[in-house]
Structures are given as C-alpha cells and as structure tokens.
Amino acid sequence: MRRPTAPRVPNGVRVCRRSACVIGTAALLAPLLLSPMSDDDAPEQHLQNAFTDAAREYHVPRSVLMGVSYVQTRWDAHPGSPSVAGGYGPMHLVDTSRVPPAPPPAAAGAPHGGSAGTPAALDPGALGGHAVRPADLQRAARLTDVPAGRLRTDPTANVRGGAALLAAMQRQLGKPLSNNPMDWWEAVERFPGTPDVTSAAAYAKDVFSVIRKGAHRTTAEGQEVSLPANPAVHPRTVRPQKPRPKEVECPAELSCDWLAAPYEEIDEDGDYGNHDLADRPRDQKIEYIVIHDTEAKLPSMFATVQDPTEVSWHYSIRSSDGHVTQHVRTKDEAWHSGNQFVNARSIGVEHEGFLKQPGTWYTEEMYRASARLVRYLAKKYDIPLDRQHIFGHDNVPSPTADSIPEMHDDPGPYWDWRHYFDLLGAPLKATAGPDSDMVTILPDYKTHQPVFTGCSRDGAPCPKHGSSAVRLHTRPNENAPLIQDPGRKPNGEDSTKDVNDLGSRVSAGQTFAVAGRSGDWTAIWFQGQEAWFKNPKKQPTAVGSAGRMVTPREGLSEIPVFGRALPEEEAYPEGVEEEPESPLPYHLMAGQRYVTQASIDSSYVPRSTFLDTPAAVVKGDEQYYEIQFGHRLAYVRSSDVDVLNATAAAGPPAAEDGGSPGR
C-alpha cells in the first residue's frame, strides 16, 4: 500500500485541508453593539404588560402572541439592533426597507430545490394560496399608525405591531379572531415569512409547544416574562411537504436540501479533496457531533464546500430561518475539525454566524433547527447527549503538540450551551450536592457577562452580553493572574480577555474534578494546574456533579496526555506505517483527577490517498479514556490510570472496582 501522506496544496490556495476547518473572515461584517441588561435589582414587567395590552387591543390570544415572540427571540428586544435577517424587537419584525433582496433562483451553486441563498420555494397553493411574507415592520407601522423607527427601538410598540400583524393575517385567512389558540395555527405558520412549507409547520409546532408547556424567563434587558402552561393545546405533527434528494439525512420536521461537496482528484500527483470515503458506522463508530460557526456568510461557505481544494463539513444551517443544507453523507468523513482522529468519528455542523456578533447571527430559529438535527443524529448513531460528545470546534483536542496554536475557537463564548441542551431535551443540571468532588460549569447565561475584548478592534471592550464562558485564575482572587496555556502560547505569553483567547476559560456543560474550595471560589484541575473561578452560592457558576474521574495509576508520578487515541505499534498491518504519537505539552501528575464520560477504542484511518472505496481502519487493543482536560478534550491510556467515582460530598473519591474501561 502507498505510504499515506497528506495531500499537497496547490500554489496560491489558502486552505486548512483534511484535518482543519474553514478559516472565515470576521471582518466581513462590522460588529453590532448590543444593549446591556438593566442594572435594576428587580426585573421589570413592562414587557409582560405590553403582551397583555396588545393582545386585548387586537383580539389575539395572549398565549399566541407570547408564544410567537418566544420562538422569534425568547422575548429579548435588543432595542434598535437588527438580526442578520433585519428583524427588530421581541417580535422580530423585519424591516423590509433595509433587507437586501434574495439571490435569483438561478444563482450558481444552488442546493437541490432552491438558490444558494434561499431554500426551496413554497408551492403557491401550499399554504392556502395566500402570499407569504415576513413579519413586515413597515406594514406593522401602518397598521398601528406608529413610525417605523419606534417599532425598531420601542419593545412595547414592537409587540403591538406583532399583534396587529397576527390579527391581519387571521382576517386574510378568513378566520375569526377566536379565543382558542389552535384556531390561529395557520396565521402563526405565516408569521415569520419562511418560504418553505415544512419550516413553516415546524415553526408553528414550536410556538404551540411553548404554549402547551408554558415558559418563564428574565430577558437580556431585565424584563421578567411568564407564559402560563396550557395543556389543552396539542401541536400538530410535521411531515415533509416536498420530495427530498436521496442523499439527505434529516428529521421529517426539518426542511433540508443537498449541495454536494466534491470527492475528486486535484492533480496528477494524487492530491484530492475535499473529504474521505468511509463506511460509518460499520467501519468506525460515530462518537461525536462538532458544533461550528462559519465566520463567513453562507453563500461564501457554499462556494467553499464545493471547492475540492478546500475543506468540508456535513451540514450548514442558515442563521435567518434555520434552513439546513447537507454536503457530505454521514457515512463519509468530512475535513472539518482540525483533528483527523475526531473527523473519523464525528459529524460536523456549521452554523452561519460570527462569534463576535451573537445577537445578530445566533438566532432562535437556527438554535432550534440545529437542535432538531443533532437530536435526530444522536438518536440514529447512539451518541450521548453530553458535552464530551456534543461539543464545539473550540473543544476539539489538538492532534499534536505543534498544532495547538492553530486550533480554532468557534462557536465561542457567546454560544448558549445551556439553552442548546434544553432544546436537545438533555438539560444541563446538578447531579450531586454542592460539595461534590466534581462540578459542571453552569452560569446563568443572561446575567453572566464576563468582560471580553476584541469584538470590534484589538483591546477594545466587547458590548456586555450573556456568556457560557467562565474565566479561570491562578488564585482565588479576581486580581490574580489568569491561568496560562503553555500549548496555545508556547513562547510564554499571558492569557488575555480577548474573545478569541481560550487559554483561561471553561464553558457551560463541561465537567471538572474539584481541586479545592475557598469561600466563594472553587478550584478545578485544568491542564495540570489548579484553576480558580468565582462560584458564589447566591449566583453559582457551577453545580455539583456525579460521575467518574481518572487519576494516574498508583506508582506513576506523571502520565502523558494525547489529542488522539492511536493504536499500539503491533496493530498496524504490513504496508501501513505507524502514525507517530505526539503527547501534548501538559503534565497530568499523581493526585490530579479529570472527569471522563466515555472510554474509547484506539484507531487510525490512513485516508490520505484517493481511493474508490474506503481505506481500512487500523484498530488497536489499547483502550483510552476521553477526559475534560482543559477547555479542550484529551485522551489518556486506560493502562495509565485508575478510575474513581465522585462522591456527593468533598472527601477521598471512591475507587471503581477493577478500574476497567466502559461507557
């Protein structure tokens, strides 16, 4: 067999290739300043009253008005700041005078059934023959006789405009202004103006699911809003309304298209792109789903994924409405994570957006579509819904020591992991008491607003915004130096508060072993160091957790940590050269403990040659544990560690009988 080598890159082409992900350009859009939450001690209720008053004025059930607003924005207003779709306020009313026209249907690179910028169009008669357009802010201004500018900046006026639009849609459909929420299903389908039947039905299902279950939230602006549950409401079943390409793998309630990533030779030397053939899960178990953001607009990403000299990923999700486009079959290996070991075991999902502009790009419809897709894939491939299996590109382990500085940092500190796992149906929560040996990072996203810099320019403070990230210090003091990452900054530079600097951060849902406690501060084991974060009882940033940890086996003073779980030398067949190990430049010392949620088999896939069939997977007998070692995951040999069970209260952890690996 030909010795596996990495494909060469043609001159002048800047790519990440088979093990890395897309390098986007954050400068494509200027960052948008977001309004900070109110500093008042008690949440305000003006928005709650606005829903009540507007519902009464326009004869719309308040639950329908509030349910629509919740699915549009989770009741957040961002006064005066539009989303990427041009939507404003808690009702996400779209100012059509400020939104650029969609690309023509014949645009190059169109997915099956639609243009590169839009999903497949609605059948003209699919929604009763009525025109479908977004919740038009300009029309709402005319209906309410209020200047458009006020609807962009005043949440109360915005809610009133949304109520007027719903009532107008109901009348257009020839339906009464009924008190029964279920009588408003068709009007709700039309409210966001999605040009796809399946997406419209899924949107309505989300709204009526919220009405059925109820909701309570304090918004980013400090408004306390409650929607009582209505168990009498029963959302309808959503089914696809148009034929799908045979390649598409999506749940029935998602609108999905296909836009193929090419698998083809680039030159006469055998270089190729932009993914690898595989036969997963038969030849390799799919263990992970990696969450990315594009750091570019979606049409640019569609051009990238169709270029054989570039990288690839399995799915793209559009910000404005959550529309899904698949590019690589899940049985095949996309080049997306920066680590071929992870690529061989994962599915990559890209989200249109910029990590420095979360209020603009990380929309509720995108979160919900992504969660539907990931929930479907996790069930199909038996992937656990936890943060060691569903993780960000910024959590992918570096495959080698010298690759650490090149690893990516999306989707960043503003991705709302807590909300995302709620949507997945696997909420992040305490599983042990507050004095347990393990903690799960879990700040309150909306009120937890650590200082970041660099969103608009280097060193400049970012606008205040909710965050999933918790910052780590060398001592239990806010003035103490930040924890340093010697792999990310090998020349000894200090960690910073820059939004792209992961060196001293952990994230919601990640679980760590407790190294100490001091007043309002908790220490965890992090990359071989004691790392401290503020964790006051009245407003905790972490909760108690139960589970398993690993520690160096008795008699070992230090063990190596890896970014991939490679087979032992004897496992490689003749003709396949052993892939060299590259321990990461960290120290896992005796007495330190790290949380594990899975053991895995060792493997290596020599997919560096253009083939008509998948390359054979080299599988070893060596077992590894996947651990939460720092902000990123890592692997340790099972033969190097003992396994401990966390106890409910602080104290010596209990040893697990035998310490044998298992899921």
Can you tell me the mean pLDDT for 185-211? 93
User: Are 173 and 165 within 8 A, CB to CB?
Assistant: no
Label residue 241 by pLDDT band (50, 70, 90).
Answer: low
Indicate the pairing of strand 469-471 with strand 438-441. Answer: unpaired
The DSSP bridge partners found for residue 439 are: 512, 544
Element (H, E) at 112: none
Indicate the pairing of strand 272-273 with strand 264-265. Answer: antiparallel
- Judged against a pLDDT cut of 80, whether residue 545 lies above it is answered with yes
The DSSP bridge partners found for residue 625 are: 599, 636
- On average, the pLDDT of the chain sits at 88
First-to-last alpha carbon distance for the chain, in angstroms, is 35
Determine the Cα–Cα distance for residues 321 and 152; give it in Å rounded to an integer.
Answer: 20
Task: Choose the weakest-confidence range: 20-29, 141-150, 169-178, 470-479.
Answer: 20-29
One-letter-per-residue 3-state SS of 136-170 = EHHHHHHHHCCCHHHHHHCHHHHHHHHHHHHHHHH
Residues 159-174 pLDDT 10s: 999 999 999 999 999 9
- Judged against a pLDDT cut of 90, whether residue 203 lies above it is answered with yes
User: Are 363 and 318 within 8 A, CB to CB?
Assistant: no
The pLDDT assigned to 43 comes to 65
Label residue 127 by pLDDT band (50, 70, 90).
Answer: low
Task: Choose the weakest-confidence range: 96-110, 343-357, 476-490, 616-630.
Answer: 96-110
Q: Both tokens of residue 434? A: 């507050």
Q: 395 versus 12: which is more confidently predicted?
A: 395
Type of residue at 517: R
- Judged against a pLDDT cut of 90, whether residue 471 lies above it is answered with yes
- Judged against a pLDDT cut of 90, whether residue 657 lies above it is answered with no
663 three-state secondary structure:
coil
C-alpha distances out from residue 562 to 470, 531, 585, 590, 635, Å: 24, 21, 9, 17, 5
The pLDDT assigned to 551 comes to 98
Residues 344-358 pLDDT 10s: 999 999 999 999 999
- Judged against a pLDDT cut of 90, whether residue 79 lies above it is answered with no
Q: CB within 8 A of 140, min separation 6: which ones?
A: 93, 151, 161, 162, 164, 165
- Judged against a pLDDT cut of 90, whether residue 42 lies above it is answered with no
Share of residues in the chain with pLDDT > 90 (%): 77
Q: CB within 8 A of 129, min separation 6: which ones?
A: none
Q: 465 versus 648: which is more confidently predicted?
A: 465
The pLDDT assigned to 220 comes to 86
Determine the Cα–Cα distance for residues 438 and 623; give it in Å rounded to an integer.
Answer: 24
Residues 528-540 pLDDT 10s: 999 999 999 999 9
The pLDDT assigned to 121 comes to 40
Where does the chain hold its CATH 1.10.530 domain(s)? 46-227
Determine the Cα–Cα distance for residues 281 and 287; give it in Å rounded to an integer.
Answer: 9
560 three-state secondary structure:
coil
The CATH number for 244-413, chosen from 2.60.40.10, 3.30.1490.190, 3.40.80.10, 3.40.309.10, is 3.40.80.10
Q: 161: how many CB neighbours lie within 10 A of its CB? A: 31
The pLDDT assigned to 630 comes to 96
The pLDDT assigned to 26 comes to 36
The pLDDT assigned to 653 comes to 64
Q: Is the pTM above the cut of 0.75?
A: yes
Q: Quickly list DSSP for 405-422.
A: GG----S-TTS-HHHHHH
Determine the Cα–Cα distance for residues 124 and 105; give it in Å rounded to an integer.
Answer: 15
Label residue 7 by pLDDT band (50, 70, 90).
Answer: very low
Among 38-42, 243-247, 604-608, which range has the highest average pLDDT? 604-608
Indicate the pairing of strand 511-518 with strand 390-392. Answer: unpaired
C-alpha distances out from residue 172 to 128, 167, 180, 202, 205, Å: 11, 9, 18, 22, 21
Domain 46-227: CATH class, spelled out: mainly alpha
Residues 373-393 pLDDT 10s: 999 999 999 999 999 999 999
Share in percent of the chain as helix, strand, coil (round to 5): 20, 20, 60
- Judged against a pLDDT cut of 80, whether residue 116 lies above it is answered with no
- Judged against a pLDDT cut of 90, whether residue 215 lies above it is answered with yes
* Phi and psi based region of residue 509 (left: phi greater than 0; alpha: psi -120 to 50; beta: remaining): left
The pLDDT assigned to 194 comes to 83
Determine the Cα–Cα distance for residues 493 and 509; give it in Å rounded to an integer.
Answer: 28
Task: Choose the weakest-confidence range: 111-115, 429-433, 522-526.
Answer: 111-115
Determine the Cα–Cα distance for residues 486 and 458; give it in Å rounded to an integer.
Answer: 22
Task: Choose the weakest-confidence range: 356-360, 586-590, 656-660.
Answer: 656-660
- Among the listed residues 128, 215, 219, the one whose alpha carbon sits nearest the alpha carbon of residue 174: 128
Q: CB within 8 A of 590, min separation 6: which ones?
A: 551, 552, 556, 557, 558
Where does the chain hold its CATH 3.40.80.10 domain(s)? 244-413
Can you tell me the mean pLDDT for 34-42? 44
Q: Quickly list DSSP for 583-627.
A: --S--EETT--EEEEEEEEEEE----S--SSPPPPEEEEEEEEEE
Q: 117 versus 588: which is more confidently predicted?
A: 588
Label residue 244 by pLDDT band (50, 70, 90).
Answer: confident
48 three-state secondary structure:
helix
Q: Both tokens of residue 521? A: 């501060």
Q: 95 versus 661: which is more confidently predicted?
A: 95
Phi, psi of 275 (to 5 degrees): -155, -175
Residues 501-518 pLDDT 10s: 999 999 999 999 999 999
Cis peptide bond prior to 100, omega within 30° of 0: no
Determine the Cα–Cα distance for residues 321 and 651; give it in Å rounded to an integer.
Answer: 49
The pLDDT assigned to 195 comes to 76
- Judged against a pLDDT cut of 70, whether residue 30 lies above it is answered with no
Determine the Cα–Cα distance for residues 56 and 146; give it in Å rounded to an integer.
Answer: 18
The pLDDT assigned to 425 comes to 97
Can you tell me the mean pLDDT for 128-133? 56
Share of residues in the chain with pLDDT > 70 (%): 86
Calculate helix-pair angle for 155-172, 62-73, nearest 10 degrees. Answer: 120
Can you tell me the mean pLDDT for 306-319? 97
